[in-house]
């Protein structure tokens, strides 16, 4: 059984994404505030929530993220308040692919998507080498022991 955790780069990537979206939303609220006065209060609430999620919740969330490659399934576990465990049996898997966004490419990470007949499992961004090793491991077929 092979267990992986997420690299710090994943936390930095999501922190950057959340701060960027928060900044854009706050800027838009302040831009349109002369038209609708309560937008300033909404902007402050969005800013506080965005910073809380980026700097408090996200680091704790990603510390709980585990990727396990067992002998018969891929298992992804995560969660703080609500614990989630996804199990994708190798027998039901149709294909696996890795992909990266432009920001992820800058940080050297890639996500992995595993597809089954009626569902899919998205593994959050891991180092590119780890993403490739997950796909190589899955490509071995029946020899997962």
pLDDT for 80 equals: 92
Is residue 117 domain-resident?
yes
Q: At 70, is the pLDDT very low, low, confident or very high (cuts 50, 70, 90)?
A: confident
Q: What angle (nearest 5°) sits at the alpha carbon of residue 84, between those of residues 48 and 56? A: 20
CA distances from 115 to 19, 30, 63, 91, 138 (A): 31, 42, 25, 11, 12
Q: Which of 62, 80, 96 is the last residue before a domain boundary?
A: 62
**Pairwise pLDDT comparison (108 vs 5), residue with the higher score:** 108
What is the percentage of the chain residues whose pLDDT exceeds 70? 96
Q: Say whether both 58 and 34 belong to one domain.
A: yes
Q: At 105, is the pLDDT very low, low, confident or very high (cuts 50, 70, 90)?
A: very high
**pTM score > 0.95 for this model?**
no
pLDDT for 78 equals: 94
In 3D space, the residue among 59, 76, 58 whose CA is nearest the CA of residue 67 turns out to be: 76
Decide: 42 and 29 in contact? Cβ < 8 Å.
yes
- According to DSSP, the residues that pair with 2 across neighbouring strands are 69
pLDDT for 138 equals: 81
User: What whole-number distance in Å separates Cα of residue 46 and Cα of residue 29?
Assistant: 9
What is the percentage of the chain residues whose pLDDT exceeds 90? 63
Is the pLDDT score of 140 beyond 90? no
Q: Say whether both 72 and 135 belong to one domain.
A: yes
Q: Which residues span the domain enclosing 79?
A: 68-139
Is the pLDDT score of 144 beyond 60? no
Q: Say whether both 114 and 81 belong to one domain.
A: yes
In 3D space, the residue among 122, 137, 139 whose CA is nearest the CA of residue 70 turns out to be: 137
Q: Say whether both 18 and 72 belong to one domain.
A: no
Is residue 145 domain-resident?
no
CB neighbours of residue 138 within 10 Å: 18
Q: At 142, is the pLDDT very low, low, confident or very high (cuts 50, 70, 90)?
A: low
Sign of CA dihedral 114, 101, 48, 7: positive
User: What whole-number distance in Å separates Cα of residue 29 and Cα of residue 23?
Assistant: 10
60-87 average pLDDT score: 92
């Amino acid at each position: 059984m092979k267990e992986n955790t997420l690299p710090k780069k994943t936390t930095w990537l999501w922190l950057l994404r959340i701060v960027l979206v928060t900044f854009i939303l706050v800027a838009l609220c302040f831009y349109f505030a002369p038209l609708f006065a309560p937008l300033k209060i909404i902007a402050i609430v969005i800013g506080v929530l965005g910073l809380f999620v980026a700097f408090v919740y996200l680091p704790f969330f990603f510390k709980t993220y585990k990727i396990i490659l067992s002998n018969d399934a891929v298992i992804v576990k995560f969660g703080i308040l609500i614990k989630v465990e996804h199990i994708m049996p190798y027998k039901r898997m149709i294909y696996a692919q890795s992909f990266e966004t432009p920001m992820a490419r800058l940080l050297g990470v890639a996500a992995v998507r595993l597809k089954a007949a009626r569902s899919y499992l998205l593994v959050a961004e891991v180092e590119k080498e780890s993403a490739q090793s997950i796909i190589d491991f899955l490509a071995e077929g029946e020899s997962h022991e």
